[in-house]
Chains A and B, each alone.
Chain A
Amino acid sequence: GENVEQHPSTLSVQEGDSAVIKCTYSDSASNYFPWYKQELGKRPQLIIDIRSNVGEKKDQRIAVTLNKTAKHFSLHITETQPEDSAVYFCAAPVRPGSQGNLIFGKGTKLSVKP
C-alpha cells in the first residue's frame, strides 16, 4: 500500500515570509494529492489538491507542485499571515482503485509569528 512521508514536522516563520512543506509518496500509480489544514480542536479541511495530470496548481497565496518522477509534492504558502498557523497534512490514495480513501502524512505544525 501507499506510504506518505511529510517534512518538516514543525515550521516557524515570520509574518509575510513564505512556508514550504514537502511530502513524498511510494506508489507511482497514485493520481490525487490533497492538502488539508486543521486548526486546533477542529476537523481537517481541504485547502488545495492536485491531480497527476498537472505539475502545479495555485489558489491565491497557496500553491502545490507535483514531481511524478521523484514522487514528491510540496505545499507553498506565500505572504504568510497569523491565521495560517495550523497543522497541515498531505495525503495520497491508499491504493489504486481506492483513490477516495487517503493515507496521510504525520503533519506539519506551522507557526506564523506576527
Chain B
Amino acid sequence: NAGVTQTPKFQVLKTGQSMTLQCAQDMNHEYMSWYRQDPGMGLRLIHYSVGAGITDQGEVPNGYNVSRSTTEDFPLRLLSAAPSQTSVYFCASSYSIQGWVTEAFFGQGTRLTVV
C-alpha cells in the first residue's frame, strides 16, 4: 500500500514548456485534489475531482488542466509554464464512509521551478 504517489519530486522547466505532474493513489479513494503551496499563501486548490470522469475548478485553475479517467490517477498538466507557476505542488486523496468524509492523505509534493 503506497498511499499517494507524486512524480517527479523535483522539476525545472523553461518558460513556455509544458509538462504533466503525476498523482496516483492505491486506496480506492473517490476524492482527489491538487494544491499549490507558496510562502505565506497556504495551500491553494487548483482542481479537484469527486470521482472518475468528474473534475472541477478550484481557487487558482488558470494555466492548468486535469483529467480523471480512472479512480487511481489524477494528472495535472501545465499547458505553457510561466515563472508564476514556480511552487510546491501537492496531490491529496480522501474517501467517505456512510456519507462522512475522512482524512485527506497528501503525496510528498513536487517542487517545480520555472525559469
Residue positions of A touching B, CB distance < 8 A = 6, 9, 31-32, 34, 43-46, 49, 51, 89, 93-94, 97-107
Are A100 and B30 interface neighbours, CB within 8 A?
Answer: yes
Cβ < 8 Å to A, chain B residues 72-115: 90, 92, 94-96, 100-104, 106-109
- Could you list 11 examples of A-B contacts with CB < 8 Å? A34-B103, A44-B43, A49-B103, A94-B45, A99-B31, A100-B29, A100-B50, A101-B33, A102-B33, A104-B43, A105-B42
Contacts of A89 in B (CB 8 A): 42-43
Contact indicator A100/B90 (Cβ below 8 Å): no
Q: Is B53 an interface residue (CB 8 A)?
A: no
Nearest chain A CB to B30 CB, angstrom units: 7
Known contacts A34-B103, A45-B106, A46-B103; decide if A100 and B43 are in contact (CB<8 Å).
no
Question: Which residues on B are within 8 Å of A, measured CB to CB?
Answer: 29-33, 35, 40-45, 48-50, 56, 58-59, 90, 92, 94-96, 100-104, 106-109
- Residues in B whose Cβ lies below 8 Å from that of A102: 33, 45, 92, 104
B40–A106 CB distance below 8 A: yes
Which residues from chain B contact A44 at a C-beta distance below 8 Å?
Answer: 43, 90, 106
Docked Cα-Cα span, A100 to B51, in Å, equals: 11
A100 near B96: Cβ-Cβ < 8 Å:
yes
Complex contacts, B96 vs chain A, CB 8 Å:
99-100
Tell me which of A94, A99, A100 has the highest count of chain B C-beta atoms within 10 A of its own C-beta.
A100
Give the residues in chain B near A97, CB-CB below 8 Å.
50
Instruction: List B contacts of A101 (CB < 8 A).
Output: 31-33, 45, 48-50, 56, 58
Q: Which residues of B contact A46 (CB under 8 A)?
A: 103-104
How far does the Cβ of B93 sit from chain A's closest Cβ, in whole Å? 8
Report which of B32, B42, B48 forms a contact with A107, defined as CB distance below 8 A.
B42
Question: Whole-angstrom distance between the alpha carbons of A107 and B41 in the complex?
Answer: 8
> From residue B103, how far is it (CB to closest CB) to chain A in Å?
5
Q: State A104–B106 Cα separation when bound (angstroms).
A: 14
